[in-house]
Structure 1
Amino acid sequence: MSTTITTYTGDHTGDTAIVLTETALDPYVTHASTRRWLTGPGLPCDSGVLSFAELCREGLRTVADSTGDPDGRLAAELRDQLVIGGLLGPGGALETESVLLDGATGEISTTYLLHDRPDLMDRRPLAPSLRTLVRFAEATDELAGLRGQFASYVGRYGPKAVAEASRHLLAVFEDGTDGAPAPFWKMAALIRPLALVAGRAGASGLALDLPQRLLDQEFGQGKVVRFEEVDFPATLTHEPTRRFLREVGLPEDGYLFTLDTDAPLQTLAEYCADDERGAELPAGAHHLIRLGHLVEDNSLVIDGATGAVLNFSEPEARLFPLNTDVSTLAFTLWLLHREQAIDEESGHELTTDTYDQLAMTMLQVLSTVDPTGVTAAGGGGRHYWTEVFQDVAGGVLEAVGAVR
């Protein structure tokens, strides 16, 4: 199928777009306004939310063509849907969920292309039209870049900025859907603005400047532990980390993480010796300070010299990057707790039927303030938060709420 690349004019000068010829639309797209959109303004080549690269490569294809479906097991309502793109994950990675266009109605939905089990495929609503889809994606990108309609949020951080940005984005989505946006956009409006809670001015000497008492307000008074100088091993020499642990602290129990509070903090070497585990230790274990326990036999440790936060897998006796530093660790634990509060307020709408989209949205927010997971994935390594968030069977984001 033939596609052409052109350039937007007017308000979009300089932005490249995917524009299809009239011939390429036949016989797949009969919806008049959808035809005008695809042959006119077209679809964006550059988006932090969606990718239409497949449309450039393959042209319009039906789901039936994409899956093959040799045994005719594909549901009739999916057979003639057109595969036009896919949702993007953290760092612009292409997710497995495909974006579909109904050529007769112009409606947009998503599905997972299950080549081996097409009979299990279904679709979820995404937007009533291409125009709405593009507008929603643009608004989401503008929030991420603090530009366009969200330019006024530059330099504004904290719970108030989060609440205002969330209302702003939700209003955009409701305006284009008669007040009922698809779950994907609703969770985007509720979760993505959470990245604005912490500043990046570097005043703390760490990646994030968390608002005063943010953790106390979220986890409750008495549930955030602040350390004293006598609690620190001599090998913890990174002063911004020492100051953060003294003045800000960490939640004692973040569900996925439990802080060591029974004794002064130990090096990883001391912890393993005292626990008589006989575990093989990584290089530099005497300079790694164990903060606490992650589920599934993982220890959370800090590099005493740099402040980097690492995951020590005890069964594998290996270290993996976890967070940039203690400020982004605190943000991660706050993000998990905040998501659960939002989910409870919505009647668990976020974790009903769309857990995978919620996990992706959470990881996108986390990658905005801490690129550790994206960097690890790019290098072929493991990242604890990414793995547990995406564990649909384990339902971590649901389980957090169950124990609160």
Structure 2
Amino acid sequence: MSTTDTDVGGLITLTDDQLDPYVTHARTREFLTGPGLPCDSTLLGFGALREHGLRTVADLAGDADRLAEELRDQLVIGALRSLDRDLESIVLDGTTGEITSASVRRNPAPLDLSPLAPSLEALLRFAAATEELTLSRGLSGPPGPFGPKAVAETSDRLSAVFEDAVGVDGVPPYWRMAALIRPLARIAGPGEGLVLGLSKRLLDEEFGAGEIMRFEDVDFPPALTHEPTRRFLRETGLPEDGFLFQLDTEVPLPALTEYYADERPGDFSADLLPATADRLIRLGYLLQDTSLVVDGTTGAVLAWSEPDLTLRPLNADISTLAFTLWLLHREKTVEAAHGLGDAYGRLAATLTETLATVDPAACDPTPALPGDDGRRHWPEIFEDRTGGRLYA
């Protein structure tokens, strides 16, 4: 379909001629020719509409004969966004005005449309509420509130926005997931010298008090001079088996150079280790060949990969590492109660977005260290369905 839309004051609008003959729903026509759509937001992207105009599912999917007749003239108007990439296409029914989402590909399997919103107005309202209520760290106003009560209240408020539009039983899976997972970013406020002030009680309640390892000063090597990290390890601690992370508890925490010299002599020569290996304190491992280390001077948490001899950012500090482990564990409980795993791609994206709200460094692919290729461990783990890691 060859059309060109108009970008007015940062909003995308279309003319009546451009909407013909595919959009016949009166309210949708009024919206697209009047208020219009935002060019982009955190969760929604309409850049393709601005660039290409209206396109049908048949235009984009190819092999239209494989599409059900009622799907061919549905309109792809944008995409659900996940950080810096598109997640799924946003599809408009030009007859009813209803909005769905789907993975529209050139050679599709039978297309599965998932409910998203009853109208364009509702779609924008849902997205705005999600972004507003889950903003954390006080970026656009006073900090907080934070804590378990704030998480529950935010979840309830988000759910109310969705339910007011579609009823309690009609909330689409994408928004139900947003209401259950994204508010978890508010579980803790700023810490003293650390990103988060996670409480000892929070980890005890989530993992069990007997499953949390707390260290003593005798366990710390001289290279661990970052006092907020030392305090967190003493007072708050880390889960011994944090789900996709195994803490070493048999010996005092070694610097990376000491670990290889004492535990695995001959595996690596000193020139293969990172230049800062003498101040990288090994906490345990993420995978058998990937060590989890903390920079003893700065407190940054990093992943050291033996196969490619690369040091990559993992978390901003020890508090956001603990939050990540808590988030993964909490998600398992929420998923079991609400069956979120049926929409796995959205779940992985929602977890990544929630982590990025608290700890952007954990998800930002911008190279930050020598040899860093931009790969980030946690987003990859969230998306690794075939490996079974998220639900192992």
Q: Do both proteins adopt the same fold according to a TM-score greater than 0.5, normalized to the shorter chain?
A: yes
- Residue of structure 2 in register with 1:265 after alignment: 253
| Cα deviation, residue 295, structure 1 | 2.4
2:163 to 169, 174, 177: 174
- Residue of structure 1 in register with 2:132 after alignment: 142
1:342 to 334, 348, 363: 334
Query: What secondary structure is seen at the aligned counterpart in 1 of 2:8?
Result: strand
Give the structure-2-normalised TM-score. Answer: 0.92
| Cα deviation, residue 130, structure 1 | 1.0
Deviations 1:241-288 (A, max 9, x none): 111111111111111001111111111122223124603422221211
1:388 to 378, 381, 388: 381
Structure 1 CA distance for aligned equivalents of residues 77 and 219 of structure 2: 56
| Cα deviation, residue 46, structure 1 | 3.8
| Cα deviation, residue 169, structure 1 | 0.5
After superposition, where does 1:245-284 map in structure 2 within 5 Å? 245-273=233-261, 274-276=263-265, 278-279=267-268, 280-284=272-276
Between stretches 60-69 and 331-340, larger displacement belongs to 60-69
1:111 to 87, 91, 102: 102
Query: What secondary structure is seen at the aligned counterpart in 1 of 2:13?
Result: strand
- Residue of structure 2 in register with 1:23 after alignment: 17
- Residue of structure 2 in register with 1:156 after alignment: 145
- Do 1:236 and 1:305's aligned partners in 2 also have CA atoms closer than 8 Å? yes
- Residue of structure 2 in register with 1:289 after alignment: 281
Structure 2 CA distance for aligned equivalents of residues 193 and 277 of structure 1: 47
| Cα deviation, residue 154, structure 1 | 4.0
State yes or no: 1:2 paired with 2:4.
Answer: yes
Query: What secondary structure is seen at the aligned counterpart in 1 of 2:209?
Result: coil
- Residue of structure 2 in register with 1:122 after alignment: 112
Structure 2 CA distance for aligned equivalents of residues 146 and 284 of structure 1: 33
State yes or no: 1:307 paired with 2:296.
Answer: no
Structure 2 CA distance for aligned equivalents of residues 219 and 258 of structure 1: 14
2:36 to 32, 35, 42: 42
| Cα deviation, residue 158, structure 1 | 0.6
| Cα deviation, residue 323, structure 1 | 0.3
Deviations 1:139-162 (A, max 9, x none): 112113379xxx998431111110
Give, as a single letter, the amino acid of the residue that structure 1 aligns with 2:296: G
- Residue of structure 1 in register with 2:91 after alignment: 100
Deviations 1:178-215 (A, max 9, x none): 21211100010000111111112x4x201111134111
Give, as a single letter, the amino acid of the residue that structure 2 aligns with 1:178: G
Give, as a single letter, the amino acid of the residue that structure 1 aligns with 2:215: F
| Cα deviation, residue 78, structure 1 | 2.9
Between stretches 226-235 and 289-298, larger displacement belongs to 289-298
> Can you give the 5+ residue segments of structure 2 that lack an aligned partner in the other structure?
none
Structure 1 CA distance for aligned equivalents of residues 70 and 384 of structure 2: 29
- Do 2:303 and 2:313's aligned partners in 1 also have CA atoms closer than 8 Å? yes
Give, as a single letter, the amino acid of the residue that structure 2 aligns with 1:5: D
- Residue of structure 2 in register with 1:226 after alignment: 214
- Residue of structure 2 in register with 1:238 after alignment: 226
Between stretches 101-110 and 53-62, larger displacement belongs to 101-110
| CA pair 390-39 structure 1, distance change in 2 beyond 3 A | same
Deviations 1:74-129 (A, max 9, x none): 34343211110011112xx12241111111111111111221x2234322111121
- Do 1:236 and 1:303's aligned partners in 2 also have CA atoms closer than 8 Å? yes
Between stretches 277-286 and 324-333, larger displacement belongs to 277-286
Give, as a single letter, the amino acid of the residue that structure 2 aligns with 1:28: Y
Query: What secondary structure is seen at the aligned counterpart in 2 of 1:319?
Result: strand
- Do 2:135 and 2:357's aligned partners in 1 also have CA atoms closer than 8 Å? no
Give, as a single letter, the amino acid of the residue that structure 2 aligns with 1:174: E
- Residue of structure 1 in register with 2:205 after alignment: 217
| Cα deviation, residue 237, structure 1 | 0.9
- Residue of structure 1 in register with 2:175 after alignment: 185
Identity of aligned residues (%): 56
Structure 2 CA distance for aligned equivalents of residues 357 and 153 of structure 1: 30
- Residue of structure 2 in register with 1:12 after alignment: none
> Can you give the 5+ residue segments of structure 1 that lack an aligned partner in the other structure?
8-15, 400-404
| CA pair 216-183 structure 1, distance change in 2 beyond 3 A | same
Structure 1 CA distance for aligned equivalents of residues 367 and 172 of structure 2: 31
- Residue of structure 2 in register with 1:397 after alignment: 390
Give, as a single letter, the amino acid of the residue that structure 1 aligns with 2:4: S
User: Aligned residue pairs: how many?
Assistant: 380
Structure 2 CA distance for aligned equivalents of residues 231 and 319 of structure 1: 24
Structure 2 CA distance for aligned equivalents of residues 53 and 329 of structure 1: 35
State yes or no: 1:64 paired with 2:58.
Answer: yes
| CA pair 378-59 structure 1, distance change in 2 beyond 3 A | farther
| Cα deviation, residue 6, structure 1 | 3.1
Give the structure-1-normalised TM-score. Answer: 0.89
Structure 1 CA distance for aligned equivalents of residues 100 and 53 of structure 2: 18
Structure 2 CA distance for aligned equivalents of residues 96 and 32 of structure 1: 29
- Do 1:153 and 1:161's aligned partners in 2 also have CA atoms closer than 8 Å? no
| Cα deviation, residue 168, structure 1 | 0.8
Query: What secondary structure is seen at the aligned counterpart in 2 of 1:56?
Result: helix
